Every structure is written in structure tokens, then in C-alpha cells.
Structure 1
Amino acid sequence: MSVDTASSDTVFSILNKGLKLETVEDVQTFVEEILAKEKLETVILSGNSFGVEAAQALAGALKNKNSIKVVNASDIFTGRLRDEVPQAVRAICDALEDKQSLVELNFSDNAFGPAGAEPMVDFLTNNRWFQVLKLNNNGLGVRGGTIIGQALLEAAKKNNEEGKKSSLRTIIAGRNRLENGSSKYLANAFAAHGTLVDIRLPQNGIRPEGIAVFSKGLAACKDLEVIDFQDNTFTTDGSVAFAEALPKWKKLKNLNIGDCMLEVAGGVAIVESLLKGCNNQLQTLNLQYNEIDRKSVSLLAQAISSHLKELSSLELNGNKIHPEDSSIADVKAALEEHGHDNALGDLHDMENGYSLRVGGEKTASIPPHGHHY
């Protein structure tokens, strides 16, 4: 079985070969190729299925490599039994625990649930050099999210005891049903590290109380550039808490809180926070399907004109406002002021059960149509 490599000595890849690897013999060729790469930096295992023996054998080879920077182990357990996966995860994590060169570990798209989080604890607690953790679409649930949060918090405590700055920069953990139950543990960990630049937790069933907890924890991460909470539930309470934290993120470039049901008052709170001028590096903003109305959009136009000069992508579709409302025209004009004529996304699914206003005067009533949710 041949190995696709982008660089003969730095990359090992069996990406999307669809191999079902069971035994030591099944991966012997791969083990030999890994061991032969003296400057191995990138390992890509994705799109294959590993049994326990195969994973342990491959992990044994990785344990001898001290230049590894990236390990992509996403989608590697298709068709595996529930008791197989934790053993394989543990083998890979144990092999990487002492790797000071490691930058990124990706276990996304493995439906291992909380049982897959447990064997990661030692790695997350003891490897305090890696920067990027990708656990997207793993079915972690509240328990799994709690386990990850507690392990990361322990790592932060060790850093503090040693006077070592955290290396953690990126957490991607969407589609995991983290919900409110894990929010305290994860948020405490994020705050303790304080170094996050990129946090993405879309589609996690997080409700207003959890959003408030996350907002408070992430407020300690002053260098945040990317925040993605799409398709969770803010309502007014969560929005107000998020709005209070927003000025802390002065380096924020990409904010995605679309499909979060901000509600009218919540939308106003968030846009009023943007009006303070603390987020003037913002480049992309997603506020679609949030039940916000023309007041928020009018305020947003002011914020764009005054402060958001870098905003080159804006999504407002699916809100409680007609696309020909004067506030939309104001937003377009504000974007054009800064040379972003095409920044506003499509408005084909705006909430039309509201009076059309032009220049602030009611001119027509538009019948409602189907809701996005």
C-alpha cells in the first residue's frame, strides 16, 4: 500500500484511502515509512478505519518522532465497536503526550462521545505545548465537554504553578451537544488559559445561561480574533451578557452569531456594544436569522460608518425587517463609505410581516411568509 506524501521526509498521509486496518501486520508498511522519516512533521490518518491493534502499532511509531507538528486523526473509527475506540484514542494520545513540537491535534468527525474524551485527559493535562485542538462533531455531550474542560483547567493550573504562559490558541468543538451543563467547566478553562485566539462552538444546544457563562469566561481571552457560536440560543439574556464581553475583544476579526435567536432587545444590546468602537478590526459579521428588527440595523449602520471600517462581509438575512427598509439602505451606504460595496449578503428570506418603512415613514404592509426555524 503506497503512501501519498507532499514531502518525502516531513509528511505521512493515507488520507481518504478507505482502509480498514485491524492488525499490526495491516499497518506494518506504514510503521516502517513513519520510522524512516527523520523530520516527520505532519501525520494524516483521516478517512480510514483503525482497530485497536492497528492504532497501537501506528502510535508506537509516532512515539519515537519528536518533530511532529500536526496529527489529523479525524474520521478514523467508522464501523468500530464502542469499546474499541477509547483504546485507540488513548494509544494515539499517549504517543503525543510528551511532544513539545506538537501544534495541532484533530480528532473531529469521530462519534466517540464522552467515552472518547476520557482517554484524552492525560494528554490534555500534560502536553502544554500544543496550540490547536479540533473536536468538531464528536458527540461529546455534557459529560464529554465537562471532561475536556476539567483536563484543560488542570493544564492551566500547572502552567500557573510553573509561571508558564499557556500555548492554547484554538478550540473547535461544534456539533457536540455541549449544552449548558458543560459550559462552566469549559468557560473556566478558557479563562484560566486566557490565550485563545479562535473559539468555535456552533450547534451545541447552548442556551442563554450557558452563553452568559461562556461570555464571562472568554472575556479573559483578550486576543480573540474568531468567535463562532452559530446556531445556539442567546435570547435577550444571553445577548446582554455577550454584549458586555464584546468590548474586551479588541482584536476580533470574525464574529458568527447567526441563527442564535438574539431577539429584538438582544440585537440592540449587541449592536450598541459595537457602537462603543472597541471592535474596529471586525471583518466578518453574521447576524442572520436572529429575530432582530430595524432598530438594531439602524444602529448597526451607525457602528459601521463610525467604527467598522474593515467590515467586508455582513449577513442580515432572515430577520424581522423588509429588505427595502431605509435602515438596510443605511447599512449599504455605510459599507460603501469604506469601499465594501458588495459586503452585504443575500436578503431573500427576510421576515416580511412588518411594515415597510422608507425614510422612517410607514408606506406599506408586507404579508408574512414562512419562518426559517
Structure 2
Amino acid sequence: MSATMATDIVAQLADSLAKAGVEEGELSYKGQGRKLDDAKSVEEIVKEIQDFEGLRALRLEGNTFGVEAAQAIAKALETKSTFKQCYWSDMFTGRLRSEIPPALNSLGDALMLAAARLTVIDLSDNAFGPDGVKGIEKLLKSSACHTLQELRLNNCGMGIGGGKILAASLIYCHKTSSAEGGPLSLKVFVAGRNRLENDGAIALAQAFQLMGSLEEIHMPQNGINHPGVTALAKAVQHNPNLRILNLNDNTFTDKGGIAMAQALKHISNIQVINFGDCLVRPAGAIAIAETVSEGLPILKELNLSFCEITDEAALKVTQAVKHKDTLEKLDLNGNCLGENGCKAVQDVMEEMNMGRLLGSLSDDEGEPEDDDDDEEDDEDDEDVDEEEIEEEEEEEEEEDGGGEDEDEEEEEEEDKFSTPSSAPKPPDVSSFLSFPSPDKLLKLGDRRAYLIEQRVDVTDTMKTAEAFLKISSVYKDDNQEVKDAVLDSIDALLKKAYSTPSFQGFSFVSSLLILFGLIKSEDKVKPVVVVPGHLQTLEHVVQQDYFPKENVAVLEAFMSRNDKALDSCGNARTLLQSTLHSLKSPS
């Protein structure tokens, strides 16, 4: 690549740091970390919205908007009839809970006034509680949402009340859109970590059953027990195009597992089933195995990890995937197989020439101590377990009231409600990402890459860059186990990021350069202390197939500068520069 070309790419990178990135009808202010309180603070954004012909998508995530700022933006949207996609996750950090509904109401009113026909609403990571759902209730019931295809409300603290409001709004929208001849056909529904519990799940199941159009359902960590799971199972069988079903970390027990297994017999398009941490137990697993063996022709992934499954049930699951040519992963880790059971499962998979598809079994809990109880006793114990779980959750639940939207407190609170007391305690990813150490990374076990990948929001390039630096900071060139753990985790994270359509590669690279202190940020992001591990890991990343070659020249241009920020990295810097230079495409 010529020097002129590299300069052009660097110029392009500089442009990407500008306040708005425009591409195919999209206006983006994503991840800028700006605190926008009043109309004056958003004057420039308002003007750019007004001047943008054919605006289809607006990205506001990763900033924080006050009521007046939201109202000013709303005013600018009132004439945008072509508008379709609201990417508005993580936009109220630090705001009072009471500020959020009026802000959302004003934005919703503007879209209705514009006669917009929405396809995407993403309000994830806004811990707004039931009142926040009330803030979008009018919008969801309006004709603006008759065309809605994706609704993403992950980690919003909706609670049972919010779940019921949401369900009623979707049912109303379906009814009115059907009367106009174009029924609501929602394809993607995401509402993990919302404390929906049984009542919220049952309400939403009614909406799902009515629509019958869902292709993806993601509802992990919601404190749902078998009554809610059974209601969702009934809804699932009325959505024949369902491809992904993620109910990770809820409490099925045998009853929920069997109900879900029956429902899945009606779903021939399912590709990903994630029932990890769901306590399906042996009877539930055997029922699921029967469904898998009889149908599900294009199944790619089956996760039944940490479900208290015994060796006999696990072997039935293993044998059930024998003729699944599309299978990419079977996860049975963290169950009760014992040493012999683990070996038997591994041997069966090897005999079927599918050994590479079996996830690690390193966290197996060993054979259960008392496995001789008859079925009736097991059923009685199950009912007691669930009663205890429900009572504990009722005792723990506090009113959802005001106060500031503090993400860490919300996360701790949500974990308290959504993790069943009888489930194995998952490794603490948040502790590692907050205070990284090699020991903490290793203690996450063989699931570390998956756990980290699930925790990091790869749609936010700055958060992805920060996670990259935290993981790579513990890299040790002289410790192969730690080195492998770091590189596996980084590869999983960045593969997911680069395969996500909304992920912006240039923006990720620019975020890294900002955190390295090689580019100054308008948002005054504080650079990290660069250590050799950061550059050694990056040197590995740039050689991987998932890393775009057009970003190599940008990195090479900045790494070759005489900058003191990298002085302490010595050989690691030299090796990275050499690798980047050799990777540059010829002009």
C-alpha cells in the first residue's frame, strides 16, 4: 500500500472520530460518552437531523440525554417520515428514573407525528423499570410500530409490571395492525435480565402466541420457573419460524424441560437452543433428547450445561445428535456425569466422528450423592425447591422506586433476583473485568471465552476496546496456560464483534488508539498505561482472518510514530510494528 493510501486511511479514521458518522441513511453519535442536558447542548445534533434527507436510522447509544435534550431531538424527528430504526440503548446513564418516561414519550410522539414506520427499536441497557415501559407504551400501540421487526429491551429492569405492560402493548398493536390488513410480525425479541419472573413471562407468552412470527427469542436471567417456562413453551410451538431460543439461567426443572421438549417438536427451523443453567434435570434432558432425535433437522447448537443432568440422560442427549449434520456445538459442561460419565459421553461423540463438537466437560459436578430416590420423591423435592425459590424472590424483592440510574447497582440487584438459589454459582466475569488478574481469568474455567463474550456489548466499540485491554493486560509470554486463555478469550470476543453487522471496525481501532494515548479524544477519555501484553495480544489479532486488512495500515501508521506512550513496551512494540509492516497489502 502506498504512503498516500495509508494517509488517506488515517484521514478516514480521523473522520470516524467526528461527532456523526453517516452511512446509508444512518446518523450516528454512538459511544461518544457525551452528557447532553438541554436543548442548547444538542443544537448541532438537531441541525444535522433536520438537514439529513431520507433519514432512516439514528444511533444515540453510549451518551446520556436529559429531558430537554430529548425533546429537542424529538422536535427534529417530527418531519422524518422515512425513519425506521431507533438504536437508543444505554442513553440515560446517571439520569433520575423520573426523567426517562417523559424523554421517551417525547421521542415516541415525534415518530408518531412523522408517520414513521419503524422496523427496529433498541432500548437495551437503560435501567428504566416499569415506568420506562410506560414511556414507550403509546408508541408501541401506534401505527408506527405496525411494521416493527426487532424489539430489544435487554437489561432494562422492567420487572413483572413492565413485562405485563409490554405484553398488552404488543397484543394491542397486533390487533389494530391486523384490522388494517398488515398484522404485526415481530421477528426478534430480546429481554434478558429484566426480572420478568413467571407472571411477566406468562403475559409475554400470550403476545408471542398471537403474533406467531418470531425468529429469535432471548430471555435469559429472568427468574422464570416452570409455570412461566410452560407458558413460553406453548407460545413457542405457535412460532414455526423460530431459529434461536435463549432462555439461559432460568429454572425449568423436569416439568418445564418436558413442556419445552414437547413444544420443540413443532419447530423444524430451530438452529440454536440455549437452556444452559436451567436445571432441566434428567427427565427434562431425556425429553429434549427424544425431540432432538426425532426432528430439528438444522440444529446448530444445543446448550444443556449446568442443568443437574446425570450420565444416563447426557448419553441420551449425545446419541440424539448422531445424524445432525449441521451441528456445530453440544454443551453438557457443569452437569453431574462423574468421571466415567464424562468419558462415556466423549467416547460416544468420538465414535460418531463428532468429538470436536463437544464443549469442555471440565466443570462437571461429579455424580450426585443421592441418586437412588424414586421419581415421586424427586417430584416432591422439585416442588419444594421451587416454592422456596419463589418465596426467597418475594422476600428479596424491593419496590422498584426512584433514585438515580446506577448501572452497577442494577446489575447486582438483577443477579440477586434472576439466579436460582439451587443453580451452581457461575464464575464471576464482572470481577475479572473490573480488576483483571491471570488467576481470575483461569478460574473462569473453559467457559471463559463464552462468558466474557456474553458480558461485553460488542455493538459499543469503546466498551469492546476497553474489554480487549483488560483481558490482554494479564497476558504472560512465559505462561502458556494464561497466554492461551487470553488469546482464546480475545479471539471469541472479536470474532463475535466483527461478525456483528452494526460493529464498526474503524471505530474499534480508533478507540484502541485513543486508549493507548496515540489519538486525543474530544470526550477526554483517559488513556491506559500500556503494557507489553496489550501489544503482544494485538500482534496476534492483526494476523487473524477476522481482522480486516484495511485496518492494518492505520495501526502501522500510528505505531510507527515516535510516541512515549509505548516506550515501556520495548520488544513487544518492535514485534508488532514488524508484523504490521509485513501484513500491509502491496499497493
Q: Please give the TM-score of this superposition, normalised by the length of structure 2.
A: 0.58
Q: By how many angstroms is 1:333 displaced?
A: 3.2
2:125 is aligned to: 109
Matches within 5 A, 1:1-373: 2-7=18-23, 10-97=25-112, 99-126=115-142, 127-277=145-295, 279-306=296-323, 308-322=324-338, 324-334=342-352, 336=353, 341-353=355-367, 372-373=424-425
- Higher mean alpha-carbon deviation, 266-275 vs 25-34, is at 266-275
Q: By how many angstroms is 1:12 displaced?
A: 1.3
- 1:16–1:252: structure 2 CA closer, same or farther, 3 Å change rule? same
Give the helix-richer structure, 1 or 2.
Answer: 2
Q: For residue 330 of structure 2, what is the amino acid of its counterpart?
A: L
Q: For residue 123 of structure 1, what is the amino acid of its counterpart?
A: L
Question: How many angstroms apart in 1 are the aligned matches of 2:58 and 2:325?
Answer: 40
Question: How many angstroms apart in 1 are the aligned matches of 2:26 and 2:19?
Answer: 10
- Higher mean alpha-carbon deviation, 120-129 vs 132-141, is at 120-129
Task: Give 1 or 2 for the bigger CA radius of gyration.
Answer: 2
Q: Is contact 1:297-1:328 (8 Å) kept?
A: no
Q: Is contact 1:304-1:331 (8 Å) kept?
A: no
Question: How many angstroms apart in 1 are the aligned matches of 2:69 and 2:116?
Answer: 25
Q: Is contact 1:3-1:12 (8 Å) kept?
A: no
State percent identity of aligned pairs: 36
Q: For residue 150 of structure 1, what is the amino acid of its counterpart?
A: A
- 1:332–1:123: structure 2 CA closer, same or farther, 3 Å change rule? farther
Question: How many angstroms apart in 1 are the aligned matches of 2:368 and 2:350?
Answer: 20
Q: By how many angstroms is 1:272 displaced?
A: 1.4
Q: Is contact 1:298-1:331 (8 Å) kept?
A: no
Q: By how many angstroms is 1:149 displaced?
A: 0.4
Deviations 1:198-246 (A, max 9, x none): 0000000000111001111221111100100000000011111111101
Superposed CA RMSD in Å reads 1.8
Q: By how many angstroms is 1:262 displaced?
A: 0.6
Deviations 1:237-277 (A, max 9, x none): 11111111011111001110000011111111111121212
Q: By how many angstroms is 1:159 displaced?
A: 3.0
Q: For residue 297 of structure 1, what is the amino acid of its counterpart?
A: A
Q: By how many angstroms is 1:161 displaced?
A: 2.7
Q: By how many angstroms is 1:150 displaced?
A: 0.6
Q: Is contact 1:298-1:328 (8 Å) kept?
A: no
Q: For residue 300 of structure 1, what is the amino acid of its counterpart?
A: V
Q: Is contact 2:349-2:355 (8 Å) kept?
A: no
Give the strand-richer structure, 1 or 2.
Answer: 1
Question: How many angstroms apart in 2 are the aligned matches of 1:256 and 1:59?
Answer: 38
Q: For residue 334 of structure 2, what is the amino acid of its counterpart?
A: G
Q: Is contact 2:146-2:182 (8 Å) kept?
A: no
Q: For residue 349 of structure 2, what is the amino acid of its counterpart?
A: V
Question: How many angstroms apart in 2 are the aligned matches of 1:75 and 1:161?
Answer: 35
Q: For residue 19 of structure 1, what is the amino acid of its counterpart?
A: R
Q: By how many angstroms is 1:99 displaced?
A: 4.8
Q: Is contact 2:185-2:212 (8 Å) kept?
A: no
- Higher mean alpha-carbon deviation, 228-237 vs 153-162, is at 153-162
Question: How many angstroms apart in 2 are the aligned matches of 1:347 and 1:6?
Answer: 46
- Structure 1 counterpart SS, 2:265: helix
- Higher mean alpha-carbon deviation, 324-333 vs 181-190, is at 324-333
Question: How many angstroms apart in 1 are the aligned matches of 2:326 and 2:351?
Answer: 14
Deviations 1:61-119 (A, max 9, x none): 12221222321111111111121111011112222336554221100000100000012
Question: How many angstroms apart in 2 are the aligned matches of 1:332 and 1:269?
Answer: 23
- 1:100–1:14: structure 2 CA closer, same or farther, 3 Å change rule? closer
Question: How many angstroms apart in 2 are the aligned matches of 1:93 and 1:275?
Answer: 47
- Structure 2 counterpart SS, 1:325: helix
- Structure 2 counterpart SS, 1:305: coil
Question: How many angstroms apart in 1 are the aligned matches of 2:355 and 2:50?
Answer: 54
Q: For residue 87 of structure 1, what is the amino acid of its counterpart?
A: P
Q: By how many angstroms is 1:6 displaced?
A: 4.3
Q: Is contact 1:67-1:102 (8 Å) kept?
A: no
Structure 2, unaligned runs of 5 or more: 1-16, 370-422, 426-587
2:515 is aligned to: none
- 1:332–1:231: structure 2 CA closer, same or farther, 3 Å change rule? farther
Q: For residue 315 of structure 1, what is the amino acid of its counterpart?
A: D
Q: Is contact 1:157-1:192 (8 Å) kept?
A: no
- Structure 2 counterpart SS, 1:314: strand
Q: Is contact 2:216-2:244 (8 Å) kept?
A: yes
Question: How many angstroms apart in 2 are the aligned matches of 1:219 and 1:111?
Answer: 31
Question: How many angstroms apart in 2 are the aligned matches of 1:42 and 1:342?
Answer: 41
Question: How many angstroms apart in 2 are the aligned matches of 1:25 and 1:290?
Answer: 54
Q: Is contact 2:236-2:264 (8 Å) kept?
A: no
Q: Please give the TM-score of this superposition, normalised by the length of structure 1.
A: 0.90
